A and B are shown apart, each in its own frame.
Chain A
Amino acid sequence: MSLLHLAIILPFVVAIIIPIIYKWTKKIHTGWLVLPVPIILFIYFLSFIPKTMNGSTVETFQWIPRYGINFTVVVDGLSLLFALLITGIGSLVVFYSIYYLGKNKERLNNFYAFLMIFMTAMLGVVLSDNLIVLYLFWELTSISSFLLIGYWYHRERSRYGARKSMMITVFGGLMMLGGFIMLHIMTDSFSIREILAASEAISQNALFIPAMILILLGAFTKSAQVPFHIWLPDAMEAPTPVSAYLHSATMVKAGIYVVARFTPLFALSPIWFWTIAIVGTTTLLWGSINATKKNDLKAILAYSTISQLGLIMTLLGIGAASLHFDNLSDDIYVLAIVAAVFHLFNHATFKGSLFMMVGIIDHETGTRDIRRLGGLMRIMPITATIAFIGTFAMAGLPPFNGFLSKEMFLESLLNLTKLNLWNADTWGILLLIVGFIASVFTFTYSMIIFFKTFTGKQKAYLLPKKPHEAPFGLLLSPAILAFLVLFIGIFPNVIAAPILEPAVKSIVPSLATNADFHIHIGLWHGITPALLMTVGIVILGTILYKTHRFWKPFITTRVPKKLRIGKSYDKGMSYLEQGSYRFTMTVMTGWLRTYLNYMLFAFIVLVLGSLILTDSLNLKFENLTSVTLVDFVLAAVILVTLIGIVFSKSRITSIILLGAMGYTISIFFVIARAPDLALTQLIIETISVVLYLLVFYHLPQFSNIEEKPRFFSVKTFLSIGIGITITLVALSAYDTTFYDSISQYYIDNTYKEAAGKNIVNVILVDFRGFDTLFETTVLAIASIGIFTMIKLRLTKRRDKNENQ
């Protein structure tokens, strides 16, 4: 157990301790006690920067070595970037939540325990090298996120959102587990590094594509890609710090992480490239269009998160092309990876600050509805500044960091049209157009967020609270993030060498050995096509914003109704519930006769089917004994009694006929020279007939058997089927004597070994006395059962007690 392992486990340990401390420290806000944890971790992970610039750090802790499942932690560029985001934004969110959540109103112990579990889970996901451990932490993020979304569990919407996100992300998680197991089958290893090293060999395997699709399903569900994005808007029912942390900066990027992590392996296939690029751009467009129609600030941000995740996903898809070029000078597609990593970082900063800004507005005005907000710039100047930086960075305007990554995004799309691989040069233009349109909508909703909230007329009469500027504590975290947005926007190269470069190198392994590879992000690099596109985006976006109220009804009312995926989820769930309910109600009728029919039918199908399919129907009549007249007579008697039983209309007749049949069988035993059996059969038949008469004497009179048994019913067919099946099996089994009977041994040894002459009895009590032992036990149990059933009448006694 190294320090790194302890670092991952630390928040979890704190999560265990929090509820205990919470009881004793009612005076202090629990958040203050939690705050040091992410800060310490952040500083600790900062110390890895020099190491990851030159290579990766690996620590192993043996967990289940027998199955190759070890808690191996690897810190390379990609993991470190994520770890820094998780701990850094984690610290800010914890600080923010101290001021956001009231000390006495909320169950803080739950909140911080869930949050810390989530932090451990997230660190575990990004730092694990072992697939199974990764999956473990992956599910832990789903569970802790479920708990956090449902934090205000008394609200119906919260519970709905939590359940929805759980269903979708766990579905994806399970798919991903399937993919991981396939990877293990192909490589016999759970270690990601070993699997990536064997990528060339795996890519020819038949399981390669299924594994890829399953892992992508996991990544898409977690990262809210179309059509799995529907859980994210509903997850906005969580407290705002949670939304800021989980649903903008960290958890939704877990899918991005997995895609980036497996890029060196799966990028060898064009399916990977196209799937990610198409799903990414679709998500980008879908999210940005939907964001413009929402009235709730948080919903706009949720859709904008979806859209931005789609953007990063697209970039990773395009970046997959870079693995197909060895010559670096040709390799303009690494730029896409750089852009993805850079935008990942940027998005975490500005989206975090925007969520916190929305939280402040919600906190100070009591609403998040943009129709009721407006003109807050005067009242909340600092919040407005933060919002300005965040929204303009999101829209992709200089001098903020969003501008740089958006430029790189557009350039990557432009490069795509030049890609001479997989028909990308012909179809890539479509992606470029979609990306451009989505960027226009992105610009539009960013403007909506800022201008509708902070400019225009003030509608104080619509606000539940009298608005005022937020306290310092609430403002600090978003201010730090906004400062980062601005700072990185102006000095992007500060993070280029220490953080982005190692991250890109771990996504594109061929660069790792290349000493010449350096990222340089220029704020100004001449009038490029990308810049011109940005100008176009700004112009078109402004027009769209100005005409927003004209076209908004169109997309809210007409278009989405057919395309609303959330609706089909709800419908699907209710169909699933109703369908299974209906299925159960039709199949499980509660009638024993129905179940008996099922069983008999299954028996016929299975036995007769296997008899025919395995060609074991074997009707030979060679070793038969001769049949005498007595046999015929007895068989005829049995047949007659049988028909009588089936068609008799009175119970007494049936019972007597049953007795007659039993006696005939005992005569059969006599003929077959089985005196013991004949004796026993006679007496048992007598006793059972007596018992039948006793029992049936107490039954109510016949009334329901009056109905004539229909001849052609399911029952008839099943009975005939069973009869035929058993007969065929018996006849087929009759002649197949593979071995001599063992009875000769008994004949020889009954007297010699067991000192008896009645073979049957000697077998019963001596050779195979064990069976007899338990048959007597069965009898004893039966008698005690009858005794208790008749004597023990608890309900009656209780009634008596109640009457007294």
Chain B
Amino acid sequence: MSNPLRIFVPVKRVVDFAVKVRVNPAKTDVDRNVKHSMNPFDEIAVEEAVRIKEAKKAEKKEVEVVAISCGTAKAQETLRTALAMGADRAVHVEVKDDATLQPLAVAKLLKAFTDKEEKKPDLFILGKQAIDDDANQTGQMLAGLLNWPQTTFASKVTIENEALKVTREIDGGLETLETKIPAIITTDLRLNEPRYASLPNIMKAKKKPLVKITPEDLGIDVSPRIQTIKVEEPAKREGGRKVESVDELVDKLKNEAKVL
């Protein structure tokens, strides 16, 4: 474990979770000219890293939190949000088109950055999935490329020196894994409740260091391996019918829908 304990937190700028996306007229993508914000699972990742930093401070152990985003120039807004939440510095890997940037390429960028960086991470905390591509891959792929252990879908994290204990959300319940850092953690919804950045912290975040690099600096080819042939609206449901009473509901379910 390096001194300080260093946590890298990859964050993604995505279409805001409350926006109902629409497919574009050309059927090649969704309309991305809508409100964006930090991927909700990444907020949880930043929060967890900052909480570890605060907890270790009480033990007189220093922690550095580094936020990283791979995307267009606008990804810097997301990095500033992470800095305002408590990250110490930020790294922006600028790509020309983030709509075609895929998890394998991001994992390779993060791996290459880790290899190149002098101040190496002890821990990566990522969101379990981005709410745009819903892939749920990057953390696992990065763990594979770095040959580090992975603890995905975390709902509880404990770090004691180099020992990492993580409770994970699995089908049917929870399981606990024990491993060692350096390691990868991906966050599930239940891990924590992210804080709001206060105005003073937003102002302070503007002065925190943010460096920009490119995929070329890292020697990584980010061209997509998966081609999107078309994007369509999902089938529409014919909903909206109301019934007046429980009796009518029972009747419809038995005689019309025939599901009871």
A binds B: no
Residues of A within 8 A of B (CB): none
